[in-house]
């Protein structure tokens, strides 16, 4: 069986978090420049540090769609175990939302790369690109909410004696949906806790997102290990 590759996919979720978060920190995005700042101040943000930090950070982040999609696939395989012979609506919704969520994330990163690619250009253009990046990065939150909700509902529907995921993980996913929600409202604010540099717009959703990805990766790894042990046992008994 392909357990090794499943494990690799689950691990790629952990790798993504461990790569992306330090890079965002390095690029000075915790917190990012306020949306209320003028174009000159935004442009200065990209010119102040050596632009290679943004180029390098953005260039790495922009490649993160594949690990993200692999991670989503590893979860979908587990949702497939929950569905058994039912129509695979949970696993399909999860992987489709995952593809969209992580592609959209790379579009946001591409914006940061573009800002840093020619930092000498007109400040208004840099500001526009910076707006694009943050609104795409945080504002397009429904694919992630869709993923968390799908996983949550799938866990609740798991009626087997040995559930694939613990039931508390179902509640965790539903809670994550609520936490992600305010990020989708950042277009309406330039100041305050709901703006893209605020507590409910950035910190809470992004940090919970990281934690959620790590927890789900670990749970998937555990589920794979259990399935592998069960399969080994069956094959031993067959010998």
Partner 1 sequence: MTKNVPIKRLPGEEGVWGFVFGDMVMFTMFFATLLFYRYENGALFAQSQSLLNQNYGAMNTLLLLTSSWFVALGVFQYRKGKTQTGARLLIPAFACGVGFVGIKFLEFGEKIAAGITLNSNEFFTLYYMFTGIHLLHVLVGLGVLFFLWRVARGAPDGSATQTLESGGIFWHMVDLLWIVLFPLIYLI
Ranges within 47-86 binding partner 1 (CB under 8 A): none
- Contact criterion met (CB below 8 Å) for 46 and 114: no
CB of 162 to partner 1, least distance (A): 17
Give CA separation, 28 vs 7, 45, 145, 187, in Å: 32, 9, 26, 21
**Binding string, residues 200-239; x marks residues near partner 1 by CB under 8 A:** x---x-----------------------------------
In the bound state with partner 1, the residue whose beta carbon lies nearer, of 107 and 156, is 156
Pick the closer one to partner 1 by CB: 88 or 193: 193
Least distance between partner 1 and beta carbon 168 (Å):
5
**Residues 148-207, interacting with partner 1 (CB under 8 A):** 167-168, 170-172, 174-175, 178-179, 181-182, 185, 188-189, 191-194, 199-200, 204
Confirm or reject binding of residue 22 to partner 1 (CB under 8 A).
no
Q: According to DSSP H, which parts of 63-141 are helical? A: 65-83, 89-117, 123-139
| 119 vs 205, beta carbon nearer partner 1 | 205
Roughly how many angstroms between the first and final C-alpha of the chain, as a whole number?
17
Cβ atoms of 217 and 11 closer than 8 Å: yes
Q: Which is nearer to partner 1, 44 or 185 (CB)?
A: 185
Do the beta carbons of residue 148 and residue 212 sit within 8 Å?
Answer: yes
Q: How far apart are CA 128 and CA 226, in angstroms?
A: 49
Smallest gap from Cβ 142 to partner 1, in A, equals 14
Question: Which region holds residue 28: left if phi is over 0, alpha if psi is between -120 and 50, else beta?
Answer: left
Binding site for partner 1 (CB under 8 A): 167-168, 170-172, 174-175, 178-179, 181-182, 185, 188-189, 191-194, 199-200, 204
């Amino acid at each position: 069986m392909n357990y090794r590759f499943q494990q690799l996919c689950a691990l790629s979720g952990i790798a993504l978090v461990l790569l992306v978060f330090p890079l965002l920190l390095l690029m000075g995005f915790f917190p990012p420049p306020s949306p209320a700042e003028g174009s000159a101040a935004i442009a200065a943000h990209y010119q102040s540090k050596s632009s290679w930090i943004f180029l390098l950070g953005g260039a790495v982040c922009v490649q993160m769609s594949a690990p993200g999609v692999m991670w989503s696939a590893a979860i979908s395989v587990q949702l497939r175990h929950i569905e058994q012979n039912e129509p695979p609506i949970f696993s399909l919704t999860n992987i489709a939302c995952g593809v969209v969520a992580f592609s959209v994330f790379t579009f946001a990163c591409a914006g940061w790369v573009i800002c840093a690619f020619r930092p000498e250009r007109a400040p208004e253009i840099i500001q526009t690109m910076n707006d694009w990046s943050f609104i795409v990065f945080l504002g397009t939150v429904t694919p992630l909410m869709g993923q968390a909700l799908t996983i949550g509902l799938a866990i609740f529907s798991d009626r087997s004696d040995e559930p694939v995921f613990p039931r508390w993980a179902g509640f965790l996913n539903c809670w994550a949906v609520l936490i992600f929600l305010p990020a989708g409202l950042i277009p309406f604010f330039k100041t305050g806790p709901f703006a893209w540099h605020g507590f409910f717009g950035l910190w809470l959703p992004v940090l919970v997102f990281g934690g959620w990805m790590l927890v789900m990766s670990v749970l998937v790894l555990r589920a794979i290990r259990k399935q592998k042990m069960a399969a080994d046992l069956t094959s031993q008994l067959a010998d």
